[in-house]
Chains A and B, each alone.
Chain A
Amino acid sequence: MVKINSKKSYPEVPVLPTTVIGSYPRPKWLKESIRLSSAGKISKDDLEEAFNDSVIAVMRDHEVAGIDIPTDGEMRRDEMVEFFAEHLKGFKFYGYVRVWGDAYYRKPSVVSRVEYKKPMLEGEVKFAQSVSYTKNLKVTITGPYTIADWSFNEYYKTKEDLVFDLAKIINQEIKNLVKMGIPFIQVDEPALPTHEDEIPWGVQAINEAVKGVDVKVGLHICYGDYSKVMPFADELKVDQLALEFKNRDFKDLELIKRFGYSKEIGLGVVDVHSKKVETPEEVAKGIKKAMQVLEPEKIFVNPDCGLKRLSRKVAYQKLVSVVEGTRMVREELKKKGLSTIQLKPIVNR
């Protein structure tokens, strides 16, 4: 187990740090480049250049909006499970599976033991670091439970066996990211609340995935019923739960009180399924509601979920509202002498 190192220096960020959950709309020209690349009409190098340019564009949007802890917008990832399955041994793709409407992904099948081949995110992270306006980058990684739940299992006797093998792989990948100097890792586990009876061992698998990680670790869960996960919140060895609150009208803040949750939250303040841009005042109101159940030092401010399904214009405007709304509340906190916090782990793991 890695214990919090009180002597290690951690970066300082403004109180109520603003961040994102991960994905950002791909620029139209990137989509076109991907299409041309699939049709064999542009080279691999040209596509790589388009990916790099798009990361620069995303970083710029985040910077101008004023986001404290950006990501690279997950420009290189078509889908959150597909991407990792493509980079691991043991997966096979049979074709597209629909998720809703006209949204599809290539749902992978596990056909042999899953194995780590080489670092999966090193390239994208190196590039993001080289063009980032801040060292305080967040890197997102799909968690072992969701990779397994959103794949078909043809090989493992039990899903649990598959999940724990994946947890070891994800742990290796996260440790590699830490070595690269990433101060904030977010594990994405939208599938965790899906099967109630699997949550207890799903939580242990997540703990396995973050074992020994001595930087800030968040866990993002969307879509599900959080009341099923909250009883396990203390057991989860993550510093922060990044959850959707806005599209539930902040009603789930009640769970924090009910379950005596005392770690950090990533507070979702804008709805990613709505084109309507929230006002900074609405964002500030949401933050203040959260401050009624948790100290401001424990609140990070972000959209409910990834922004990739919105238009780039709307996504950007939502980020501006996140930042402006947060600044309004910060002004009040400044008067109380609270202006910065450290971006550091708060849980031993």
Chain B
Amino acid sequence: MLAETAPVSSADNGTQLRAGGVVHRYGDLTAVDDVTLEVRRGEVFGLLGPNGAGKSTLISICSGMFEPTAGLVTVGDRQLSPTTRAAKRRIGVVPQDIALYEKLSGRQNLRFFGRVYGLGGRRLRERVEAVLEVVGLSDRGNDQAGTYSGGMQRRLNLAAGLLHEPELLILDEPTVGVDPQSRNHIFDNVERLNRDQGVTIVYTTHYMEEAERLCDRVAIIDHGKIVALDSPRALIESLGGGVIQIGIDPAQRAQVTESLSSLASVQAVGPGPDEKSLNIEASSARHALVDVMQAMNAAALEVETVRILEPNLESVFLRYTGRSLRD
């Protein structure tokens, strides 16, 4: 039974979505580990994480699909849970899977999902035509969804999430397997919805260029925890001139740190994503690399692996998780 809930707070503090102390466990596995984050009204918020990081579970909880083991999620001033109707109406969800009926036409699909969200009559017809126009499928609306290309299905998938004009749109990997034309179409849609209609967007992706282009802020999640959260620019700038990530013998960690910290081209030496690696921050990673290697040779210290992290979001991700985003 779905229920209406009273507002949790009468004050509009500019937060569209808030997850507070959210924990979710599958048996012994903690998929989401005490996550607290706020998505501001009108921003595009990116959620980045490798497979198995807990990203999908967190997105599902923030979509009202299931209840977290602990913690609270609110949408605007309404608490969100699988049984709260008012909060769910504010959200548009575009799942990672093509969540459509292939045997139905594009219009039939949209009419069905529109009705699910309470639309009907003239309003439903108008919204169906409007979202078909938005995603550029008006001329194919009467064709069976199963006959669409992968990119067109993705666009129809997006359209189904826009029907009821949600305040908050959650896009879960909306461009996976999409051709460049459809990808650009989706980018344009996201930017226009955010810019022209003020829709708050939570966007998960594997593609750094998408996050850099679209997101006002990004959160990086790994092992169920938020390990970094800021604007893409701030996160990139935190890398300075780049990072050299070297693999070492853990027994030599102290000696290596001491040897490299004294180099003029090195700004800081810190722990890497695991005990066998170190992050070396420099004003110019490429120039510092020569000094680092010479210092290691001089001290007879072994370097097992070397990786230069250019100052971009991919490197930020690698720095915090030790993994490529596509791993």
Decide whether A and B assemble into one complex: no
Report which B residues bind A (CB closer than 8 A): none
Residues on A lying within 8 angstroms of B by beta carbon are none
